């Protein structure tokens, strides 16, 4: 057997093994995280964006379907649920601070969520996008699992919603720091809440890595945004459509 044949057999074996795709996913993120730290935590060097780029490049180069990749890496996807639920622990630990800020929290959600839905709808309409694409884009401001569920409910395309949601999260996490600095917002609870509303899971991860208080308020905002969007999107769409 030639060396090429042996390498091919090894590759066939590896791509069928879940461990290979899990390793690729974790390795890509570690590369992204290393570059992020080497850049002195520059928000533009987003580790999630880098890891997506690496994994996508590997899949396209090797002509591997997403379904095959996901079947191997789905354990990481499964862990998103417990990881999200675990955010309840730091939220509980900061419950006194949260109740102290309950009025601005409620006001922010009641203002931010309808604004996010309406600005998405009217901008998409301005550019004459198809109705199905508009409905696909509307839930972009909440975490991907909730956004996909909302998109399916209102007639959007859930798989495309997931991509748009991830892009929204990456952009928000990358540029959020600059926006908050421009408006001289220094309070960590306010900064974290802004990340959670604007860039959901990815923004929450960034906020948590910078400051625990910011991370707690980002996690709280992410959860409240999901609940509020599920309610407001139906009400608003009945009015504007």
Q: Show me where the domains of the chain are located.
A: 1-81, 87-241
Residues in the chain: 241
Range 93-108 average pLDDT: 94
State the pTM of this model.
0.84
List all residues 6 or more positions away from 98 whose beta carbon is below 8 Å from its beta carbon: 91, 105, 216, 217, 220
pLDDT of residue 134: 95
Residue 75 banded pLDDT, cuts 50, 70, 90? confident
Confidence of residue 234 (pLDDT cuts 50, 70, 90): very high
Q: What is the pLDDT of residue 34?
A: 93
Give the pLDDT of residue 74.
78
pLDDT at position 208 is 87
Residue with more model confidence, 169 or 84: 169
CA dist 240 and 153 (Å) reads 17
pLDDT score for 6: 61
Average pLDDT over residues 38-47: 85
Please tell me the predicted confidence (pLDDT) of residue 182.
Answer: 92
The arithmetic mean of pLDDT across residues 86-101, rounded, is: 91
- Four-CA torsion 207, 53, 33, 174, nearest 10 degrees: -30
- pLDDT confidence tier of residue 41, bands split at 50, 70 and 90: confident
Instruction: Output 182 or 86, whichever has higher pLDDT.
Output: 182
Mean of per-residue pLDDT scores for the chain: 87
Q: How far is CA 34 from CA 41, 51, 54, 235, in A?
A: 10, 11, 14, 44
> What percent of the chain lies above the pLDDT cut of 70?
93
**In the structure, what pLDDT confidence band is assigned to residue 14 with cuts at 50, 70 and 90?**
low
| Range list of H helices, the chain | 3-15, 18-38, 47-61, 66-86, 88-93, 95-100, 102-126, 131-137, 144-154, 158-182, 188-210, 212-240
Question: How do residues 172-216 score in pLDDT, each as one tens digit?
Answer: 888 888 889 998 999 999 999 999 998 988 889 888 888 999 999
**Predicted local distance difference test score (pLDDT) of residue 122:** 95
Task: Give residue 11's pLDDT.
Answer: 56
Q: Which residue has the higher pLDDT, 130 or 22?
A: 130
pLDDT of residue 80: 74
SS (H, E, C) 204-226: HHHHHHHCHHHHHHHHHHHHHHH
Q: For position 8, what pLDDT does the model report? A: 57
């Amino acid at each position: 057997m030639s060396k090429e044949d042996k390498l091919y057999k090894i590759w066939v074996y590896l791509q069928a093994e879940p461990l290979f795709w899990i390793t690729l996913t974790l390795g890509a993120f570690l590369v992204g995280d290393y570059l992020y730290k080497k850049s002195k935590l520059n928000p533009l060097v987003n580790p999630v964006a880098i890891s997506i780029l690496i994994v996508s490049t590997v899949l396209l180069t090797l002509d591997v379907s997403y379904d095959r990749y996901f079947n191997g890496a789905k354990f990481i996807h499964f862990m998103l649920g417990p990881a999200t639920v675990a955010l309840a622990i730091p939220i509980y630990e900061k419950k006194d601070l949260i109740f102290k800020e309950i009025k601005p929290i409620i006001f922010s959600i009641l203002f931010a969520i309808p604004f996010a839905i309406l600005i998405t709808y009217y901008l998409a309409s301005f550019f004459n996008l198809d109705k199905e694409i508009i409905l696909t884009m509307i839930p972009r401001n909440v975490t991907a699992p909730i956004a996909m569920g909302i998109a399916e409910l209102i007639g959007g395309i859930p798989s495309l919603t997931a991509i748009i949601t991830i892009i929204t999260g990456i952009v928000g996490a990358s540029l959020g720091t600059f926006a908050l600095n421009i408006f001289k917002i220094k309070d960590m609870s306010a900064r974290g809440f802004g990340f959670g509303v604007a860039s959901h899971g990815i923004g929450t991860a960034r906020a948590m890595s910078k400051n625990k208080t910011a991370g707690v308020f980002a996690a709280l905002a992410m959860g409240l945004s999901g609940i509020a969007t599920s309610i407001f999107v139906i009400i608003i769409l009945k009015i504007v459509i």
